[in-house]
Amino acid sequence: MTVVAVTACLALALIGCGGGGDEDKPEGKAPSKSADAPSSPGADGASPSADPTQILAQTKGEKGITVTITDATRDTGGFVTVKGTVTNNGDSAFNAAAWRGDELAVSRSGASVAGAVLVDEVGKKRYYVLRDTDGVCLCTTKLIGIKPGETRPIFAQFPAPPATTTEVEFQLPTMPPAKITLSEG
């Protein structure tokens, strides 16, 4: 009960701090979302809602699952936050257990996007999802029971590639890779 109460209070605080103000921004420039970037996953695995107006990439997998990437921001803290949604366009419930990846170190993350990686093809490096001191990914968790027609927000934080790297490939187990462009936060 305490975790639920704290999560609810934090959610209300985040909503109260939102100021909008995106009306005056010129079109074509991605809005900076570094202030919305979570420093760790919520206790319930939820993440902030992704901006539905911008689509950086979309990848479609088996059984009608679609992952849409809406934001990939390089933050001043030396990390990249990727945000988006997962939509179940299939006819049965979806659990993201395979998206956790094969690495034993992130097994505590459960059905999550812990197995996601950013690939810098030019620099020939892979960047894995960051983890907290307990080995839980800094990403959306509890991706279970996603009903047909349901869309849920997702996020994952990665170490930032060099500043000269502006395009990376987002890879998620069982899904085709997607090229995304990093924006500055």
Domains of the chain: 36-184 (2.60.40)
Whether 49 shows a pLDDT value over 60: the answer reads no
Token reading at 119? 């690939």
- Decide if pLDDT at 14 tops 50: no
pLDDT in tens, 95-149: 998 888 767 666 678 788 999 999 999 999 999 999 988 888 999 999 999 999 9
Compute the distance between CA of residue 124 and CA of residue 1 in angstroms, rounded to an integer: 46
- Cα–Cα distance measured from residue 77 to residue 55, given in angstroms and rounded to the nearest whole number: 24
On whether the pTM is more than 0.75, the answer is no
Which residues, in sequence order, are bridge partners of residue 48?
A: none
- Could you tell me what percent of the chain has a pLDDT over 90? 55
Higher-confidence position of 156 and 22: 156
Q: Is 15's pLDDT higher than 90?
A: no
In the chain, alpha helices (H): 2-17
Contact call for residues 7 and 142 (beta carbons, < 8 A)? no
Q: What is the pLDDT of residue 106?
A: 66
Contact 144, 31 (CB under 8 A): no
Per-residue b or e along 52-70, where b marks 16 or more CB atoms closer than 10 Å to that residue's CB = eeeebbebebeeebbbbbb
Q: Is the pLDDT of residue 18 over 70?
A: no
**C-alpha–C-alpha distance, residues 156 and 38, integer Å:** 9
Residue 13 is given by DSSP the state H
Q: Is the pLDDT of residue 74 over 80?
A: yes
CA 8 to CA 183: how far, in whole Å? 30
pLDDT confidence of residue 100: 84
Distances (CA, A) of 134 to 33, 40, 89, 109: 27, 12, 34, 10
